[in-house]
Structure 1
């Protein structure tokens, strides 16, 4: 291969620290938290330079495959591959899989740039200089970690202690340090040799695979088996479930970097945040004269040092300081901004409750490869949804055993197939779909199709779908 760098974007995380916006079904990397583009799309843009980078390899969970494909397509980005993990296994396994895949395609001398998909980075001259320095070291066989020079005693990040070395360029690693308490973080800031562990790496593929085989043989074996037994599914590569499940659930830091002699750290000085908590988003964003950051329909009175975000209801806050208020269609979080790291513990409490567990998994709005739907109202034996279908897309040909449906077109044109008969509906027209009928919905128009769906019946679960034909390769999922 040429000197092009192969980006490896890790997009399978299911983080909970930005609840209630971020949930299992749509985690933070796929949300537009700080701009009109999502964090994943911003990551793609950073490697959209064909003079420097090859098309990126995306490592993600199978549940997010259409989200990844749609968000890349919206940017007009060409991807090298989308590799689907059926089981989440921290960072060591996906990086090993990506390295093995890249080595098979382009050889052991391939340079890999491993990037989390949910970080906020300022691509200035210091950033590009760091990428160039790290790539040079990786091409010589090094495994390079990017270490951010800290500017405050941060307790939300892991640290890397750099060994004595040159003032500029890579340095040996003395130790990796887990997230510290406030007192330890202050000591590390004063020490001067500790760097924030960014989770970004530049790797020589052959060197990494060799070290992984020596230091983490279970991970290396699982990676090779997962690829050898993988199968192509549309534009995706599905990794073997049994092989991925057999791998240890371990980070690349613990599996390889803490033990290898090839590891070095590159101290860097560009603006960076992992946006891993609400206070991190507040620190990274533009604030008003009262030090408040707001997004969405928000009104404040006598409020200071606050983060207030709403993606639906109008939120009014009065006379409070140091507060985070995050409102969605179906949940509101209120807490002290300084205690934002505790959101994860709250999510665990919600997950433990039968009635509250769904709030940690799905939003009222669900995205599908053809568009998606909002849950509007539900009760005993009925449910109302708002469906939106992208131009040129269609749902699967399907039937339901236990429910009937009634569709009302609000905007656009709907092509409806019922038991082989095709009808075209426009605004304000409606149609009934009896239980058991074979049906399909399509949008033949040039604008988004919006319709209201009323479901009635003895069972309204999303698993009451028998797919007879589906262009997205789905067989057992929801609509």
Structure 2
């Protein structure tokens, strides 16, 4: 059997799942259906398949979250490719295919989105095993989802003639229909939802891309040949890749090739494109409510309530979505959740940080959470993993006080290097070159208090290239 490399596409913003999903912390990195993130679930659901290490493709802002979440589930990737700009799925898969064949082999690419939910994993695995032989015969296999209702939010695939054993040639790809047409597709039985999941030989994809969209092929080839390693990441040059057309694999290849086949799959799939979609797939109580976190209900029905940090109580409501996070609360009617993107657009227009990131921010050495702020002070909780350290840096407008809550900090403060342990503190004056390191075996947790006339993140001068600052 051919070798298989999972290709995990982890880009995207997931704005319809705001306030949980943010530009710098989108839904694929969030725990929505269990304790694992959606990215982690995507990789864990194929853990029983015999595959090579995965290739993950994401953007620059998310690289440390990808690395940390893979580390948490003990997965060492073949590569993490950083797209400098988003150019849709056809170029993303092309970059991954060039990486897959770079050592002279020609594996099958199992192409999966990092933000899907699949409830029936045995059916999913069986469909992949069914697709492998077709892919080994140089076909481009896509997985169609057997529709459960007339859905206007998904594209559709029309099945053509039977190829063999439950595999059909693709007749056509169809854009999102209106409700009347979606009803007809359900009755016809020849239509599947377009899942955006595929399996194919790397060489066959590249040859079909070159045949049907040479511009994408040429730009991606040039960009990959100019790529370079940055720590464990593969950086794609922006000046080259930005010239690439923005096209999906469907439009660039699958609609034009004569090698496309589809396997209908009934696996409890959802792309979780909205809060109502998440409510649909969640386990509900006898009143139709799905809840996560600290929630108390009274006379509440058919609602989805997510409490991240605080107790959320509801009385006498129905058909509501209530989402509580550290810095924002969303209340929406279940039938209007597609309009959440309007809120995100308004936040962008007001240049508010709530659309961009959560209070808690992940860094290569750990994370920090802003817990209080005023005109002349910011307070953060900082966690540094064992063996990690921040970059040496200077601030010209603020001083910092560090109080160690747990663990031990090795502090560089000007010309001095010293240890600060639990219940001890240290002071970093304006203009002092400084950094901190965790030399211990457990997490270092400290409270950082910034004081000064200007407290923004851009008041920073990094010294050298060792480590990474805020």
Structure 2-normalised TM-score? 0.96
Q: Report the equivalent of 1:44.
A: 43
Range that drifts further, 390-399 or 434-443: 390-399
Distance 2:173 2:342 in 1: 25
Equivalent in 226, 236, 243 of residue 233 of structure 2: 236
Distance in 1 between residues matched to 2:178 and 2:310, nearest whole Å: 36
- 2:430 pairs with one of 425, 430, 435: 435
Give the C-alpha shift of residue 23 in structure 1.
Answer: 0.4
- Determine whether 1:393 maps to 2:412: no
Displacement over 3 Å in runs of 4+: 122-125, 469-472
Q: Which runs of 5+ in 2 are unaligned?
A: none
CA root-mean-square deviation: 1.7
Is residue 350 from structure 1 mapped to residue 347 from structure 2 by the alignment?
A: yes
Structure 1 unmatched runs, 5+: none
Q: Post-superposition shift, 1:277? A: 1.0
Number of the residue aligned with 2:452: 457
1:468 aligned partner: 463
Q: Aligned residue for 2:53?
A: 55
Deviations 1:348-389 (A, max 9, x none): 2222223x3x21101111111111111122222321111111
> Which secondary structure does the structure 2 equivalent of 1:183 belong to?
helix
Q: CA deviation at 1:275?
A: 1.4
Contact 1:89 1:248 in 2 (8 A): yes
Give yes or no for the alignment of 1:252 onto 2:263: no
Aligned to 1:145: 142
Q: Is the 8 A contact 2:291 2:304 kept in 1?
A: yes
Number of the residue aligned with 1:5 = 4
Aligned partner of 1:171 in structure 2 is 168
Name the CA shift for 1:86/1:92 in 2 (closer, same or farther; >3 Å).
Answer: same
What is the deviation of 1:263? 1.2
Residue 98 (str. 1) matches residue 93 (str. 2): no
How far has the Cα of 1:182 moved from its partner? Answer: 2.2
CA distance in 2, matches of 1:106, 1:338: 51
- Distance change >3 Å, CA 316–CA 441, structure 1 → 2: same
Q: Of residues 295, 299, 306 in structure 1, which corresponds to 2:296?
A: 299
Q: Does residue 269 of the first structure (1) align with residue 266 of the second (2)?
A: yes
Partner-residue secondary structure (3-state), 2:288: coil
Q: How big is the shift at 1:270?
A: 1.5
CA offsets, 1:299-321, max 9 Å, x none?
11100010000211221111111
CA distance in 2, matches of 1:470, 1:104: 29
Q: 1:66 aligns with which of 64, 75, 88?
A: 64
1:193 aligns with 2:190: yes
Select 1:216's aligned residue among 213, 216, 220.
213
Q: Distance in 1 between matches of 2:164 and 2:338?
A: 34
Cα distance per residue 1:23-60 (max 9 Å; x no partner):
011111111111111111111213334x6211111111
**Is 1:405 aligned to residue 400 of structure 2?**
yes
Deviation at residue 123 of structure 1 after TM alignment: 5.3
